[in-house]
């Protein structure tokens, strides 16, 4: 009898969102990972005898015992980020969206016609995002098809999961950074074909297993790690014809995919970010009932569509996003930095919309999803303050009203949105976002709140047994990491069971 083989066996605390308001904290979890990247088992509260027995039951390549200050967390998912804007991150934050695009963004993105420059910047972006724990990202590229292909190459080589969109713009952009409608459609088709061909090649390379039923015999592969994504930049820079043809392309492609039992094609764009943008869309598309309706008419709303921002939507628009399963990427830092507005995220959550988080780097000044979580917390508190001020101004009574913090997000909610919520937004919820489920792919971070160069100090609570053993202690560690942590607290990063950042940790 052959002994099954594991790439990794972890023994320690696992923290994982279960739903928007529920977090599982599972101490002393035995977590096995196959070479295929799939989780073999996750047994919380395992005894040392179980640990010893597992070591004899399996051939294990790497055993990692977590210390008290460490825990595993699902990988962070950035559902809206502009890879080519990395060189201007943190610069030019003095303008609002439309002049910001013309002044800073388009000139930088135009440089990506140079494939070598594109590759160089994309290597930095992918390395930096991985180091910060972003295991999966929905990237916007530029207008350039070959440049966008280089982003695919870099992600695959580094082992990062995600979407890559060749940005489409056929109007209202400078003539040196604009394309024809045909070029928008053709470039998107070429990117889809390119990724398909890479995946096909990868599948052919995979050794056929003599006992295919044994997941442990499957090897790591890169097929479907990176998906092409239909990416009209936003309605103002796309003609109605371009939007319609991109919607048709998605529909045609999805017919084939459905027959092959494959997930539908991802779609991403911007929606209702800034007041001037919304007024411009109303002028450009008078036949549409709303900004959302512009995309809806083109067939671009779907259960694999992500709309970034959505700050100023009407109730009808929100209902339409919900009905079509379209997700909203909440990009709080960007909404502050470009003075676009403050998303009332509690309202959208109450209405049952799918909400995830995005850095929107470089509209947002930070590349880290920890920053995206903090931004979302700050935005929700800003809503609370605005609501309180409104109540006071209305002078319903002259005493200060009770503190109402219902609009405020919790740590649990932002962690959900940065992990499981991101997986749901990208239609990957049956693959990633969970660590306590066998057969999920192991996309994870090893966090250490006592890392040697940690940007904060964690003081153990007084040693009452109740406090030391309770979930409370790890909740406090998680909160510290979210509020005060950075990449120095991320000691290892795995995507599909392969370590892609951090120091080699196996012992
Ligand atoms: N934040 C942001 N909004 C956009 N709307 C259209 N393009 C962009 C972009 O690059 N960033
Ligand atoms: Zn954006």
Integer Cα distance of 424 and 431 in angstroms: 10
210 lies in a domain?
no
| Residues near ligand 2 ion, CB 5 Å cutoff | 308, 360
Do residue 233 and residue 359 come from a single domain? yes
216 lies in a domain?
no
Do residue 42 and residue 151 come from a single domain? no
Distance 224 CA to ligand 2 centre (A): 24
Quick: pLDDT tens for 288-336. Answer: 999 999 999 999 999 999 999 999 999 999 999 999 999 999 999 999 9
Q: Are 13 and 72 in contact (CB under 8 A)?
A: yes
Integer Cα distance of 281 and 181 in angstroms: 18
Quick: pLDDT tens for 437-451. Answer: 999 999 999 999 999
Length of the chain: 507
* CATH number of the domain that residue 258 is part of: 3.20.20.140
User: What pLDDT score was predicted for residue 144?
Assistant: 98
Q: Is the pLDDT of residue 470 over 70?
A: no
Domain end point (choices 425, 449, 464): 425
User: What pLDDT score was predicted for residue 1?
Assistant: 66
252 lies in a domain?
yes
| Ligand nearest the Cα atom of residue 100 | 1
Written as six digits, the tokens of 145 are 């098809």
177 lies in a domain?
yes
How many Cβ atoms sit within 10 Å of the Cβ of residue 48? 9
326 lies in a domain?
yes
Q: Find all residues with CB under 8 Å of 158, minimum gap 6, and list them.
A: 123, 126, 127, 130, 500
User: What pLDDT score was predicted for residue 468?
Assistant: 58
Domain of 146?
76-204+221-425
Domain end point (choices 407, 425, 443): 425
Distance 363 CA to ligand 1 centre (A): 7
Strand partners of residue 60: 6
Neighbour-count burial for 219-238, b at 16+ CB within 10 Å, e otherwise = ebbbbbbbbbbbbbbbbbbb
Integer Cα distance of 149 and 140 in angstroms: 12
Do residue 125 and residue 20 come from a single domain? no
Do residue 476 and residue 361 come from a single domain? no
User: What pLDDT score was predicted for residue 213?
Assistant: 45
Quick: pLDDT tens for 259-291. Answer: 999 999 999 999 999 999 999 999 999 999 999
Quick: pLDDT tens for 161-177. Answer: 999 999 999 999 999 99
Atom of ligand 1 nearest to the CA of 334: 1
Domain end point (choices 405, 425, 445): 425
* CATH number of the domain that residue 44 is part of: 2.30.40.10
Which spans in 222-360 are helix H? Answer: 240-259, 275-284, 291-297, 315-324, 332-337, 345-350
Q: Whose CA is nearest to atom 4 of ligand 1?
A: 270
Which spans in 132-214 are helix H? Answer: 145-158, 181-205
| Ligand nearest the Cα atom of residue 360 | 2
Do residue 418 and residue 313 come from a single domain? yes
Distance 360 CA to ligand 2 centre (A): 5
239 lies in a domain?
yes
* Cα 91 to Cα 73, 95, 104, 361, distances in angstroms: 32, 11, 9, 11
Q: How many domains does the chain have?
A: 2
Is the pTM for the entire model greater than 0.90? yes
Integer Cα distance of 350 and 334 in angstroms: 23
Do residue 302 and residue 370 come from a single domain? yes
pLDDT-derived band at 392 (thresholds 50, 70, 90) equals confident
pLDDT-derived band at 402 (thresholds 50, 70, 90) equals low
Do residue 418 and residue 487 come from a single domain? no
User: What pLDDT score was predicted for residue 472?
Assistant: 86
Do residue 366 and residue 474 come from a single domain? no
Integer Cα distance of 15 and 6 in angstroms: 21
362 lies in a domain?
yes
209 lies in a domain?
no
Do residue 296 and residue 381 come from a single domain? yes
Written as six digits, the tokens of 149 are 């292909």
Pocket residue to mutate for ligand 1, from 270, 295, 361, most atoms within 8 A of Cβ: 270
Distance 114 CA to ligand 1 centre (A): 22
Mean pLDDT, range 189-209, rounded to an integer: 89
Pocket residue to mutate for ligand 1, from 79, 92, 103, 233, most atoms within 8 A of Cβ: 233
| Residues in the ligand 1 pocket, defined by CB under 6 Å | 82, 97, 101, 105, 233-234, 270, 273, 334, 360, 363
Do residue 400 and residue 335 come from a single domain? yes
Do residue 65 and residue 83 come from a single domain? no
How open is the CA angle 237-238-243, to the nearest 5 degrees?
155
Distance 441 CA to ligand 2 centre (A): 28
Distance 50 CA to ligand 2 centre (A): 48
Do residue 165 and residue 267 come from a single domain? yes
Mean pLDDT, range 459-475, rounded to an integer: 73
- Percentage of the chain beyond pLDDT 90 is 89
């Amino acid at each position: 009898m052959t002994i099954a083989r594991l790439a990794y066996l972890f023994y320690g605390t696992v923290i994982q969102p279960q739903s928007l308001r529920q977090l599982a904290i599972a101490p002393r979890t035995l977590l096995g990972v196959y070479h295929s990247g799939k989780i073999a088992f996750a047994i919380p509260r395992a005894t040392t005898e179980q640990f010893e027995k597992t070591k004899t039951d399996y051939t294990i390549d790497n055993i990692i015992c977590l210390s008290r200050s460490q825990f595993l967390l699902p990988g962070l998912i950035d559902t809206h980020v502009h890879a080519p804007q990395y060189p201007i991150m943190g610069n030019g934050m003095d303008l609002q969206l439309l002049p910001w695009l013309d002044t800073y963004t388009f000139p930088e993105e135009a440089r990506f016609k140079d494939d070598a420059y594109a590759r160089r910047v994309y290597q930095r972006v992918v390395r930096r995002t991985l180091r910060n724990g972003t295991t999966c990202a929905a990237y916007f590229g530029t207008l350039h098809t070959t440049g966008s292909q280089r982003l695919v190459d870099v992600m695959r080589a580094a082992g990062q999961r995600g979407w890559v969109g060749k940005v489409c713009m056929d109007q209202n952009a400078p003539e040196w950074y604009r394309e024809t409608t045909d070029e928008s459609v053709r470039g998107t088709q070429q990117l889809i074909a390119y990724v398909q061909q890479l995946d096909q090649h990868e599948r052919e390379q995979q050794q056929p297993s003599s006992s295919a039923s044994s997941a442990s015999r499957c090897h790591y592969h890169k097929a479907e790690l990176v998906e092409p994504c239909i990416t009209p930049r936003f309605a103002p820079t796309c003609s109605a014809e371009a939007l319609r043809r991109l919607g048709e392309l998605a529909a045609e492609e999805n017919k084939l995919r459905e027959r092959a039992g494959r997930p539908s094609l991802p779609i991403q764009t911007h929606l209702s970010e800034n007041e001037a943008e919304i007024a411009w869309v109303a002028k450009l598309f008078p036949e549409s009932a709303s900004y959302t309706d512009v995309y809806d008419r083109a067939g671009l709303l779907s259960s694999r569509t992500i709309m970034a921002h959505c700050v100023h939507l009407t109730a009808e628009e929100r209902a339409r996003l919900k009905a079509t399963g379209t997700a909203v990427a909440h990009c709080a830092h960007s909404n502050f930095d470009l003075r676009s507005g403050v998303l009332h995220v509690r309202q959208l959550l109450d209405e049952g919309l799918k909400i995830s988080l995005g850095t929107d780097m470089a509209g947002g000044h930070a590349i880290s999803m920890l920053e995206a979580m903090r931004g979302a917390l700050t935005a929700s508190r800003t809503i609370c303050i605005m609501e309180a001020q409104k109540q006071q101004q209305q002078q319903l009574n002259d005493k200060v009203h009770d503190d109402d913090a219902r609009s405020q997000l919790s740590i649990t909610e932002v962690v959900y949105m940065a992990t499981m919520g991101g997986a749901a937004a990208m239609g990957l919820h049956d693959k990633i976002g969970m660590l306590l489920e066998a057969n999920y792919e192991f996309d994870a971070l090893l966090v250490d709140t006592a890392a040697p160069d940690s940007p904060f100090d964690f003081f153990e609570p007084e040693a009452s047994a109740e406090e030391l053993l309770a979930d409370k202690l790890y909740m406090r560690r998680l909160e510290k990491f979210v509020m005060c942590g950075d990449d120095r607290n991320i000691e290892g990063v795995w995507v599909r069971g392969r370590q892609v950042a951090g120091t080699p940790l196996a012992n």
